[in-house]
Each structure stands twice: as C-alpha cells, then as structure tokens.
Amino acid sequence: MQVELLEVRQHMAQFPPFEQLSDDLLDELAGQVEVGYFQAETDIYRHGDAVEYLHYIRSGAIDLYRRNGDLYNRLSEGDIFGQFDLLRDQRVRFPARAIEDTLIYFIPLAAFQHLCEADDNFADFVEVERPRLESTVDQQRKGHEMLVTRVRKLASRAPVMVESDATVQEAAQRMGEHSASSVLVLAAPQTSEDSHAFTHEDGQLRRMVGILTDHDLRNRVLAEGRPTSTTVGELIDERPITIQSDESVYEAMLRMLRNNIHHLPVLYRRRPVGVLHLSDIVRYETNSSLYLVDNIFRQPSVEGLAAMRSDVRAAFVRMVNEDDNSQMVGSSLSSIGRAFTRRLLELAEEELGPPPVPYCFMALGSMARNEQSIVTDQDNALVLDDSFDPAQHDAYFLTLAQRVSDGLAACGYSYCKGDVMATNSRWRQPLHVWQQYFRDWIDDPSPERLLHSSIFFDLDSVYGDEAFVERLQDLVAERASQRPRFLAAMARNALNRTPPLGFFRTFVMEKDGEQNNTINLKRRGTAPLVDLIRVHALACGSRAQNSFDRLEDINKTRLLAGHSGERIRYALEFIAMVRILHQVIDIQEEREPDNDIEPENVSDNERHNLKDAFQVLSNAQKFLKFRYPMPSQKR
C-alpha cells in the first residue's frame, strides 16, 4: 500500500465508525477517498446542494447550521457529517462551513453504501443520531467494549525501530529521543520469499525479528555489565509475540497476561505499526482484572498469594455486576488462574534453582479453554524435554509440582479428585511419552482412555517451553479427525450427561418423570455442551481450545446443519451466565458458591430460557450420535 493511502487508513482507523472496520474494508476504503481543502470561513456546502459524499474531517473544524442560521453542531478531527443526507434524499439539510483551515476526506456514495451493507456496526452508527448513541452507553457497554475495540485504536503511535546490528547505546538514544520504552528490531529477510517480510519505508525488504525494552536494558545490559557496543541482535528473542492491528483489545490483554509481557508489537499484515504497552490497556479499561493479575506477580510468597482469594471473588462479583458475558468472565478468571500458576512456578524455581531440563507446565480443562468459573479445581500436567532422566531429574520436578499444587490449593483451587495433576508421576512425562499417550487414546479408545481424552484434549501451555504443548495440540488436531471409530466413541461418551426436561413448580423435572430439588448447571448443562462441541471440533481438525472459538471453526464446515451452531452458542452462553449469576448470589449472601441452583430461586424468564437451552442441548446430543456412527467391524 502506498504511503499516502497507509496514512489515510491509519488515521481513519482511530475514529468511529471506522475503528471497528476490518482491515480489508479499511484498505478498500482508503483507495477510494478523495481529499479537499477549505480555508477558514468558507462554505463546504449550502442548504439544498446535492450530496454525493460522506465527509470525514482529517484536520480543522466545521460548523453545521440549521436552515434559519442557528448553529446545529460543531465538529472537528475524526468526525463525520453528511451521513443523514446520504440516507435521505441526498440533499443538504444542514449547511456546513469551515471555521478553521480544514482538510476533508470525501468518501463516495457508492463506498458509503457498501460499508453500510458490509458492516452492521457502521450501519448502526450512521443510521442513528449521535445523542441517541451516547444515551445508550451504560455499564453493559463498558463490559463488552474491549471485545469489539480494535488494537489499532490504542496503538496509534508509530513504533521506534532499529536494525539488529545497531548497538544498545544507539537503541537507548533512539528510545530517549522518542520518549519510548521499547524499540522494534528489524533485519533483512533471509530470502525474498520470507513470509514475515514487509517493504520498509526506504523501499527495502525487512522483517521484525524482536523487541528491546527498557527492562532489557536494565536487566540484560547494565545488570550483567555488557558493553554499550553490544548489538541489539544479541539480546532479543527472535520469536517475538505480536498481535494484528485488526484484533480486539481484549485479545491483546489476554495475550500479554498469558505471556507475562508488558510490550506487544502491533502488526498490520507483516508491517509493524505500533507497540501496545500494558499501561495503555490499564488506562483504557481501569475496571478490569489487570490490576489483580499485576498484583499477583508482585507477591513475594505463597502466603501473599493465598491472601488474595477474597480479591479474586470480589473481582468476579464486579465483572458479573457490570454485565460482562460468560466469555469475558471465563477468560478473566482463567487469566487470573494462569497468573497464580506462573507466579508459583517462579517462586518454586527461585528456591529450587533452574530446572535440570526444559519443561512446560500444561493447563487442562476449563483453564485451558479459558472458561473457568469461581468454582473450580486444578487439572494440570508437566511435559518434559526428551532428555529427561527420572533417576536424575524427577525429584526436582516432583518437588516443583508439589509446590505449585499445594500453592494453588491455598489460593482456592482445590485438588483434583481424579488426581489429574503434575504431582502424579503418570502426568509428569517427557514429550515422546505424552505423544504416545495421545496416539493410544485416539487409535484404540477404551472407557478409561475416553475419560482421559475428555480431560486432556483441552490443553494449553501456562509456563515454560510452549512448543512442547503446541506439538501435542498439532498431533490431536491432525490425528483425531482421521479416526472415525474414535470420534464415534467420543460422541457416545458425550451422551452420558443429559439435560433435564425443565421445571415444574419448585422441582426440576427429569425426562423419566422424576423430580429433583436442585440442578447442577455444570454437570447437566455446560459440561455436556462443552463435550459435544469438542467432538465436532476434533472432527474438523480445529486447533482452538475455547468452546466459542471451536464453534466458529465448526461453523465454517458442514458438520452442523442450518443455524445449529448459533443455537448451541446461545444455549452455552445462557446456561453459563445463569450458573455465574447464581454463584454471585451465593457469594453476596455469604454462602459457599457452587454449581447447583434451586428451582424456587429461578425467575420466570430464566425458566423459559433454560428450558429452551436444555432443548437445544438435547437436540444437539441426538444429532451427535447420528453424525458419528460407529464404523462396522471388518470380518
């Protein structure tokens, strides 16, 4: 993209309604924009003139007037006008006049109409008067804003960049000149076909190979006594964690928390366009769980971490009361759980010394899916390097696992009743053993192996060498989809937990007519939904772990008919939120939260919607058995 067009799209991407457009739509739009300049005190258009463009103020300011000459509105940089005229009779209703020297981007009518058709958020914005929009901004909007706000809105400042052969002194000088806390490091690509290469502003091919921060300068240069002539290429990690400018602020927050980093390079395709700092998100969303996670990493002991249990519950209650949906609550609580785990591992390594071989601490179940609730236990395992020798190394890792497991229990994450924890030697194995575990589970499913599949097929790295877990995820995604017998067995295993029929007065009505006093919404609702989603995800080779992300992958295939995927999403979200809301009620009424609800505590609206959600689950389970029949045995 030409530099001029890149400047147009980057400026427009900072302001509504363009900030939520996809990068593809922004690229297309930037190529159609025309530019006009108006001196102060000149008319832009008069009442009754034909309107053929949407107007975007690049710089300057304008006044809009009523027909009688009264001031209607005053607009400045980033504002748009003319949209209502385009939607009506394409005649000027409110004349516009520049009150300063003003630069206008003109968006043609055809491009405007295309945006209205292609993006619902854009259409909603231009079709509703601004005062009405402002009146709808409430606590619920705050809760969901991070899911829809794109990273580029926060990382609008151009990054400071240096070549990999620059010295740390030169890098520090550049950081000082630009008041920056980091520099991105560039190098020439090894080949012209490098998939990470981009065309730099000097016309040469470059690729971003890393990032150097003020923290690196302190800890890896000054503290280690390195000379100022050290090149930045000697200090950087050549697998930098990045994010695309099109992704959400919420995803950026999670990525930074999961990897315990404070700087996140922002890319547009392969080109670096900014650096997001943790403080940028904190300033943007001051009521998030970020403060809690930051406090976790500041704790010097297990006792300090355990003392934060009440803070976690308070954060959970606050999120729910601010109308965060189940995805946000689950992601936030999972990030908090990961932070506890990482800090416990850091504290253990400080005491035990560095590990004798590389390892990865692996989360399983709801934490791996980013779907934790306030009621949860710990499911984890250790994947060790293949150089692991039990006689020499296992004492270290057993002690490490015990420190983490006991610490998590002290922090409110109860021990796993099934002993699926890294303290169990069966779940503390080198990579090649884990790979054989998964091959056996997939190739020859038995009742015990199916149980393990339901637990271990939701897996994610928490700390250490992530590549170990990535290889297990790849093995599952590639192998499971090619094993019809395994999928059929998993499908039948997913039918073991069925939903109730609904409610009758103060009882839960089962399909066999039995009446119960309570219902466990996890066991009878969210868990069977998660199970059936997992089967479909394995069948289509999805590498996603989160149930909602898996549904997105599933919906791209023909595994589900019609709108079944959306109905399953609705059912999962609704049941999860009812479960979460009742846990908040338990906490507020000073009861120990659980997954059970009593029919007398369920509102009429909840009853109706829960019954519908249970019906969706029931139908989805029936389809599961039909979709994955058991292959006939060959004779």
Those residues with Cβ within 8 angstroms of residue 377's Cβ, 6 or more apart along the chain or in another chain: 413, 414, 415, 416, 417
Residues 295 and 436 in one domain: yes
What is the C-alpha to C-alpha distance for residues 230 and 119, in angstroms, rounded to an integer?
A: 49
Within this chain, do residues 7 and 92 fall inside the same structural domain, yes or no?
yes
Q: What is the CATH classification number for the domain harbouring 241?
A: 3.10.580.10
What's the mean pLDDT in 503-516? 61
Is 346 domain-assigned?
A: yes
Residue 633 lies in a domain: no
Mean pLDDT of 214-243: 88
**Residue 262 one-letter amino acid:** H
Q: Are 264 and 333 contained in the same domain?
A: no
| In the predicted structure, residue 130 carries a pLDDT above the cut 50 | no
Q: Are 14 and 142 in contact (CB under 8 A)?
A: no
Tracing tokens 């901004």 back to the chain, one arrives at: 137
State the pLDDT confidence band at 514, using cuts at 50, 70 and 90: low
Residue that the structure tokens 């035990």 belong to? 352
User: Is 8 part of a structural domain of the chain?
Assistant: yes
pLDDT for residue 75 is more than 60: yes
**What is the rounded average pLDDT for all residues in the chain?**
86
Q: What is the pLDDT of residues 317-362, one digit of tens each?
A: 888 877 778 888 898 899 899 999 999 999 999 999 999 999 999 9
Distance CA 105, CA 258 (A): 40
Average pLDDT over residues 508-516: 63
| Helix, strand, coil % over all residues of the chain, rounded to 5 | 50, 20, 35
Mind giving me the DSSP string for 279-329?
HHHHHH-TTSTHHHHHHHHH--SHHHHHTTHHHHHHHHHHHHHTT--HHHH
Distance CA 331, CA 255 (A): 11
Question: Which tokens is 177 given?
Answer: 């000149």
Q: Residue 619: CA atoms inside 13 Å, Cβ hemisphere, count?
A: 14
* Residue 532: inside a domain: yes
Is residue 139 assigned to a domain? no
Give domain status of residue 212, yes or no: yes
Same domain, 461 and 314: yes
528-557 average pLDDT score: 94
One domain, residues 520 and 585: yes
| pLDDT exceeds cutoff 50 at 269 | yes
| Local confidence band at 101 (pLDDT 50, 70, 90 cut-offs) | very high
Question: In whole angstroms, what is the distance from residue 318 CA to residue 495 CA?
Answer: 35
State whether 220 and 274 are in the same domain.
yes
In this structure, the dihedral spanned by the alpha carbons of residues 133, 138, 142 and 143, taken in order and rounded to 10 degrees, is: -120
Q: Is the pLDDT of residue 151 over 50?
A: yes
CATH code for the domain in which residue 348 is found: 3.30.460.10
Domain annotation covers residue 632:
no
Q: Which helix (H) or strand (E) holds 360?
A: strand 359-364
Q: Identify whether residues 331 and 403 lie together within a single domain.
A: yes
Total tally of structural domains belonging to the chain: 4
**How long a stretch of residues is the chain?**
635
d(CA 457, CA 467): 16
Rounded Cα gap, residues 522 and 512, in angstroms: 20
Residues 29 and 101 placed together within one structural domain of the fold: yes
pLDDT greater than 90 at residue 142: no
Which residue, 266, 285, 304, sits at the end of a domain?
Answer: 285
- The answer to whether position 140 is within a domain reads no
Residue 99, domain extent: 3-130
The answer to whether residues 238 and 311 belong to one domain is no
- Identify whether residues 216 and 179 lie together within a single domain: yes
User: Would you state the pLDDT for residue 288?
Assistant: 54
Is the same domain home to 331 and 381?
yes
User: Contact, 444 vs 414, CB < 8 A?
Assistant: no
Per cent of the chain over pLDDT 90 is 47
Cβ pair 211, 185 in contact under 8 A: yes
CB-count exposure of residue 135 (10 Å: 0-12, 13-18, 19+): exposed
pLDDT in tens, 76-94: 888 889 988 898 889 998 8
More confident: 294 or 301: 301
